Amino acid sequence: MKALHLWLVACLLPSLAAAEIVWRGDFETGNRSQYSTEQMVSSDRLQVVTSPVAEGKYALKATVKQGDDPINSSGNRNELVYLSNEKVGSEYWYRWKVMFANDFPSVDAWQLFTQWHHDGCCGSPPVEFFVKGELIRLTLNDSGTVWSTALKRGAWQEFIFHVKWSPDASVGYVELWLNGTQVLKKTYAKTMFSGQNNYLKLGLYRADTVKPVGVVYHDGMIQATKREDVFPVVKPDPEPVVDAGTPVDAGSPKDPDPVVDAGSPVDPEPVVDAGSPVDPDPEPVVDAGTPVDAGTNTGVKPAPLDESGGDANFQGGCSASGGSLAAFSLLGLLGLARARRRRS
């Protein structure tokens, strides 16, 4: 019994994880079996193909030629029908992708590619996406065209459509995103007709006046109750880790250049003491001896003076730089000598 319980839990967990997705019409079954019924003149008009695709492995190629009228009604069509039966007051998120062929006709006539039709008879649906001329339009039956954009061919475009279904214009509303950008903010309007439910149709439905063949591709349709189911959570790319390589060993911290000791402050050149001002060489003082009293006989006989024949230029051996005192002393000595000679 316990084993059975575990088996049931394991089987139910995957479906519980996706419980908010109400329905898928993404053709990943490889056929049209996800839809309730088809309105087509032949199976080649609604083909499940492997190229081109927007996601997964499969997409739908819808083709319409002039005169295709499988339900004997106005216009030409080949469409898939999903009886979703949205109720009054219900709220859903839808996401799907569309690509118009490179030769999709450019005509001044309506060409619907997705619509939510009422289950009553006749008249235009309450919600329709269509091409007219070179514009894609969203029209609400009671409000007219509430959004439009330029038609692009040969490229997948993603639509996300949020709807509150109600015949009361103060309750019902729509919002629209194209390729991830909100292009229509919440707009209140009647999204249903009173007393009627809605259902989904996609493929191609157009005015019977259009002659060229029309081809449009559909892929990835889902119906959900939460925004998170139609807006995939986009995780930001992690910051790249830059490998700086192995840290380079810069070695031990390098000592700053050594401070060179300039030694003790160098004393200025010593001031040489020149001593007291040097007087010029004094005139040599010639000791003339103690003055000899002429009357006193000392008993010392002075050396004889050589008179050299009385030469008037005789200098007596004295320096010419001698002072006047020396000269007078010499003259005094000479006078004494002469006196002694005269007395001897």
Question: What is the value of pTM for the model shown?
Answer: 0.65
Residue 121 has pLDDT above 80, yes or no: yes
Residue 330 has pLDDT above 50, yes or no: no
Assess contact for 55 and 37: CB atoms under 8 A.
no
CA nearest neighbour of 89 among 229, 231, 228, 225: 225
HSE-CB at 49 with a 13 A cutoff on CA atoms is 18
Report the DSSP pairing between strands 76-86 and 198-206. antiparallel
Question: Mean pLDDT over residues 225-235, rounded?
Answer: 83
- Its sign, for the CA torsion 145, 150, 153, 159, is negative
Percent of the chain with pLDDT over 90: 58
pLDDT score for 12: 43
CA nearest neighbour of 315 among 331, 303, 292: 331
Instruction: In whole angstroms, give the CA distance from residue 114 to residue 199.
Output: 11
Least confident of 33-37, 45-49, 287-291: 287-291
CA nearest neighbour of 147 among 128, 169, 125, 166: 128
